[in-house]
Amino acid sequence: MKRDGIVKGKFISFEGPDGAGKTTALNKVVTDLTPVLKDKLVVTREPGGNRISEAIRHIILDRKNTEMDDRTEALLYAAARRQHIVETIQPALDENKLVLCDRYIDSSVAYQGAGRQIGTTEVYQMNLFATGGLLPNLTIYFDVPSEVGLQRIMTHRTDEINRLDVEQLSFHQRVRKSYLEIAKAQPQRIKVIDATKSKDQVVQDVEKIIYAANQEFFN
Ligand SMILES: Nc1ncnc2c1ncn2[C@@H]1O[C@H](COP(=O)(O)OP(=O)(O)O)[C@@H](O)[C@H]1O
Ligand SMILES: [Mg+2]
């Protein structure tokens, strides 16, 4: 799974808490980039719409699964991620595509490692096994105070309020702190944007970063 030698395609992940505006921005970015990139653009989200990963996602997010152990949760996310890589991400990268993915490895480190407090290093290591070391070339982290993210999903969003969304504020604050630590540790990969700004401004910021980092796709 590791891309030895020649780097093929580009892999960009969108990260941040629920309610940060990732999906909203991603949809607009796709609308703007599709006429330019056409079939060079691949948009996906974890778990990636394949049969196995969707089945795993259903188990993880089902609010009835109150007995789920924290490590079970982390392993299931990693298993769904693996299948998504194999079926979707790696084939697209092999065809030199620009892949935009809603959530990836940093979500596991922040939510399970820090949020659930099972250890960020352990979760990262376990995910290196799951991903075969495939990291994004670029990660855009949507930073918002936890209260803002929660407020947005509770007041506006009707599609899905899941088992993790209903965790208490301290959980979400640990998640944000962890995201900021990862961003600080890997500044070359992770770009932080202020997601409290207006939707239009956020999209502008995201597109600026994508253009700057992927010139070869826009010539
Ligand atoms: N920049 C923004 N300012 C205000 N509200 C926003 C912004 N971005 C998204 N929203 C709203 O917040 C809610 C959550 O957005 P969403 O894109 O689903 O977040 P995420 O995918 O990060 O969970 C939606 O109702 C959306 O319209
Ligand atoms: Mg979303």
Task: State pLDDT tens for residues 48-70.
Answer: 889 999 999 999 989 899 999 99
Q: Is 116 in the pocket of ligand 1 (CB under 6 A)?
A: no
Name which of 144, 74, 153, 137 is nearest 111 in CA terms: 74
The annotation status of 18 as a binding-site residue, yes or no, is yes
Angle value at C-alpha 139, between 138 and 140, nearest 5 degrees: 125
Domains of the chain and any CATH numbers: 10-217 (3.40.50.300)
Please tell me the distance from the alpha carbon of residue 29 to that of residue 45, in angstroms, as a whole number: 14
Q: Is 103 in the pocket of ligand 1 (CB under 6 A)?
A: no
Residue 99: predicted pLDDT: 98
Lowest average pLDDT, out of 1-10, 67-76, 101-110, 126-135, goes to 1-10
Residue 7: predicted pLDDT: 42
What spacing in Å lies between the alpha carbon of 152 and ligand 1's midpoint?
6
Residue 102: predicted pLDDT: 97
The annotation status of 49 as a binding-site residue, yes or no, is no
Q: Is 19 in the pocket of ligand 1 (CB under 6 A)?
A: yes
pLDDT (tens digit, 9 = 90+) per residue, 113-130?
Answer: 999 999 999 999 999 999
